[in-house]
A and B are shown apart, each in its own frame.
Chain A
């Protein structure tokens, strides 16, 4: 965990899931377990979720961050997830993507509003630190919007 950050309280709520067609889940399982053990509230789903299901789950579970794992081009529909979140009024949920994402596509995702992309080789601590930072920012934005 990033020592420079005081721990967010209550801890970040993170939805770890996979959308689209592929189901290679080693990455999503390892990352979800690490975030959980780092003290976060993790909502983990089996792969193959539909975008409307992810939006509904994010809303009902009141998550700060959605982590999408993509190993076989499913990241291409993440902009559609961003659109669906906006339409549901969930702009203040941060979305991160991890897996095999070519450089050109990374630009596309960032443009669509994805906070960051974790590539193979990212350390688990770095991922957890970044997610905590994003959750903190999103909570602050939400607090400003609600007051």
Chain B
């Protein structure tokens, strides 16, 4: 203690004891390789107040605060799950509009208060059922193309009483069709609540090439038009869900997925501001959607850190003054990539661990994957187990008794800080590239994610990442559960015939009016392109026709082919 000023840490009794423990630990364990989490952060065997405990009450207030107050590390609402537990938002969509409506009404009768619509891949890609190979129809979602299809899909469903979540990439024709059905029924648009789940076109460019998308400039304009229109006409609607899930499923580490998603949100906010919108007029309706991997503590820390970083960005960088603009509302989906085809029932355990990480991370709504997702589109039995998993966690496990229950853990707080640093590093790299739009345009983000996907796979190959049933603990000759049977070809043929009849029976003058209005809006940036889409849908223009006009006028966004 001769020259205390030269020591890195003050020689408190605690530091001495910690050093002694460290020496004993190293003496008693074999030399271990450095453990790192998926985001690359080095993980120590033990955390103490020396890692995160300094600063006392003022540091607590600045970094953590209380639930419902800035910087929201401990949750965005004052009461969190004591006030209201998360929304159970399972994705559904299979077969024809009739099939979908039947399933939807079953769920609503069973007490569901939220609706989700997953359209068929043909819809995602901008086609009507009469434009693609019938073998591919209705295998992954519902085939909704026309006003008639939407009427059938929503029959008996009270749009004023449920929250609607549409997996509807731009140009948002499902929403346009739904708004027309609401208008026909006399349901005021101001009473409609829900979310456009697939409006984050940048994430589609980066990571999930299953969606129709316009060339980047057109996609950029259409999203701002959509946000502007919905904020004005359907004020309870969330027009934007910024999606980290696509990127993490495509291989981004949890820290990368969070950082890149926040960069997309910044880009969209800056685009809205450039249009002349006030941050507090649109930010309260921004929502987020994330993957929850099985890397338990890392995911908890990812969400806690993400909440804090977004609050600061919204307040300090975007200049939002309304606290509702600072709140990081998010939906979580358990990670399908973590599930295994080998010993598929084990996936129920994986989904359970992932779901708990999301709940401890403070999510607002949750989708739990069915265990057989890795075999086929989920079967009914597997979908029921996924719902039951949420019910068990909510009702039996006592997870909702205490708000942000892992706070104060030396490890979790240290990791939250370290994940925050990683996230800020990603944001700085994207800023250096000129923002998210430019980084995606150049293929930079695609390259980063590809590298992470490869690195993870190599860890699995080497056995550094054990996956039960895959590279360890294999069981010979296992029996797999049956996969979901495909839609009845007769029903699909009838659906194609019905669309043809619908198309032939339209008022040609109105149809032409709708097509012209859409093309004109595409050509004139001063007009609102989403308003024109709603108008066109009301004139009988189908989903595939809307996409074709916009593709012609604004160009299509091909993915970059890069390995």
Q: Could you say which of A84-92, A115-123, A131-139 contacts chain B?
A: A115-123
Whether A102 contacts B558 by the Cβ 8 Å rule is no
Whether B563 contacts A76 by the Cβ 8 Å rule is no
Say yes or no for B50: interface residue by CB 8 A criterion: no
How far, in whole Å, are A42 and B561 apart by their CA atoms in the complex?
13
Whether B483 contacts A21 by the Cβ 8 Å rule is no
Whether A120 contacts B340 by the Cβ 8 Å rule is yes
Say yes or no for B251: interface residue by CB 8 A criterion: yes
| Cβ–Cβ < 8 Å partners of B211 in chain A | 23
Chain B proximity of A71: nearest CB distance (Å): 9
Chain A proximity of B216: nearest CB distance (Å): 15
| Cβ–Cβ < 8 Å partners of A111 in chain B | none
Chain A proximity of B40: nearest CB distance (Å): 18
| Cβ–Cβ < 8 Å partners of A44 in chain B | 561, 563
| Cβ–Cβ < 8 Å partners of B559 in chain A | 23, 25, 46-48
Q: A21-B125, A45-B561, A72-B140 are in contact. Are A30 and B454 (CB under 8 A)?
A: yes
Residues 62-76 of chain A, each 1 if its beta carbon lies under 8 Å from chain B, else 0: 000000000011101
Q: A46-B559, A120-B340 are in contact. Are A24 and B453 (CB under 8 A)?
A: no
Residues 209-235 of chain B, each 1 if its beta carbon lies under 8 Å from chain A, else 0: 111000000000000000000000000
Say yes or no for B457: interface residue by CB 8 A criterion: yes
Q: A21-B132, A23-B559, A42-B563 are in contact. Are A33 and B210 (CB under 8 A)?
A: no
| Cβ–Cβ < 8 Å partners of B435 in chain A | none
A23, A32, A45, A80: the one contacting B210 at CB < 8 Å is A23
Chain A proximity of B475: nearest CB distance (Å): 13
B208, B484, B561: the one contacting A46 at CB < 8 Å is B561
Chain B proximity of A112: nearest CB distance (Å): 13
How far, in whole Å, are A42 and B458 apart by their CA atoms in the complex?
19
Whether A124 contacts B136 by the Cβ 8 Å rule is no
Question: Which residues between 541 and 563 of chain B lie within 8 Å of chain A, taking CB atoms?
Answer: 558-563
Whether B470 contacts A26 by the Cβ 8 Å rule is no
Question: Which residues between 513 and 563 of chain B lie within 8 Å of chain A, taking CB atoms?
Answer: 558-563
Whether B209 contacts A46 by the Cβ 8 Å rule is yes
Say yes or no for B382: interface residue by CB 8 A criterion: no
Say yes or no for A103: interface residue by CB 8 A criterion: yes
B136, B374, B467, B484: the one contacting A21 at CB < 8 Å is B136
Across the two chains, which residue of chain B brings its CB closest to A74?
B136
Whether B210 contacts A22 by the Cβ 8 Å rule is yes
How far, in whole Å, are A109 and B486 apart by their CA atoms in the complex?
16
Whether B208 contacts A125 by the Cβ 8 Å rule is no
Whether B136 contacts A73 by the Cβ 8 Å rule is yes
Whether B209 contacts A121 by the Cβ 8 Å rule is no
| Cβ–Cβ < 8 Å partners of B375 in chain A | 100, 102
Whether A121 contacts B342 by the Cβ 8 Å rule is yes
Chain B proximity of A69: nearest CB distance (Å): 12
Chain B proximity of A42: nearest CB distance (Å): 7
B residues contacting the other copy or chain, number (CB 8 A)? 48
How far, in whole Å, are A24 and B246 apart by their CA atoms in the complex?
9
Say yes or no for B461: interface residue by CB 8 A criterion: yes
How far, in whole Å, are A123 and B459 apart by their CA atoms in the complex?
11
Say yes or no for B450: interface residue by CB 8 A criterion: yes
Whether A77 contacts B133 by the Cβ 8 Å rule is yes
Whether A124 contacts B457 by the Cβ 8 Å rule is yes
B121, B342, B454, B461: the one contacting A73 at CB < 8 Å is B121
| Cβ–Cβ < 8 Å partners of B563 in chain A | 29, 32-33, 36, 42, 44
| Cβ–Cβ < 8 Å partners of A76 in chain B | 135-136, 139
Whether A23 contacts B453 by the Cβ 8 Å rule is no
How far, in whole Å, are A34 and B460 apart by their CA atoms in the complex?
14
Say yes or no for B124: interface residue by CB 8 A criterion: yes
How far, in whole Å, are A102 and B139 apart by their CA atoms in the complex?
13
Whether A21 contacts B341 by the Cβ 8 Å rule is no
| Cβ–Cβ < 8 Å partners of B340 in chain A | 120-121
| Cβ–Cβ < 8 Å partners of B562 in chain A | 29
Chain A proximity of B229: nearest CB distance (Å): 28
Residues 41-59 of chain A, each 1 if its beta carbon lies under 8 Å from chain B, else 0: 0101111100000000000
| Cβ–Cβ < 8 Å partners of A42 in chain B | 563
How far, in whole Å, are A120 and B341 apart by their CA atoms in the complex?
6
Q: A48-B209, A73-B121 are in contact. Are A26 and B249 (CB under 8 A)?
A: yes
Whether B461 contacts A124 by the Cβ 8 Å rule is yes
| Cβ–Cβ < 8 Å partners of A33 in chain B | 450, 454, 563
Say yes or no for B480: interface residue by CB 8 A criterion: yes
| Cβ–Cβ < 8 Å partners of B471 in chain A | 123
Whether A103 contacts B483 by the Cβ 8 Å rule is yes
Whether B342 contacts A30 by the Cβ 8 Å rule is no
How far, in whole Å, are A23 and B467 apart by their CA atoms in the complex?
26
| Cβ–Cβ < 8 Å partners of A123 in chain B | 460-461, 471
Closest 6 CB pairs of A and B: A23-B209, A102-B483, A21-B121, A73-B139, A46-B561, A121-B470
Instruction: Using CB atoms and an 8 Å cutoff, list the residues of chain A in contact with chain B.
Output: 20-26, 29-30, 32-34, 36, 42, 44-48, 72-74, 76-77, 80, 100, 102-105, 119-121, 123-125
Subset of 16 A-B contacts with CB under 8 Å: A21-B122, A22-B140, A23-B210, A24-B208, A33-B450, A34-B457, A36-B563, A46-B559, A47-B209, A72-B210, A76-B135, A77-B133, A77-B135, A77-B136, A120-B339, A124-B458
Known pairs A23-B208, A74-B136. 13 more at Cβ < 8 A? A21-B136, A22-B210, A23-B559, A29-B453, A29-B454, A30-B454, A46-B560, A72-B139, A72-B140, A104-B483, A121-B340, A121-B470, A123-B471
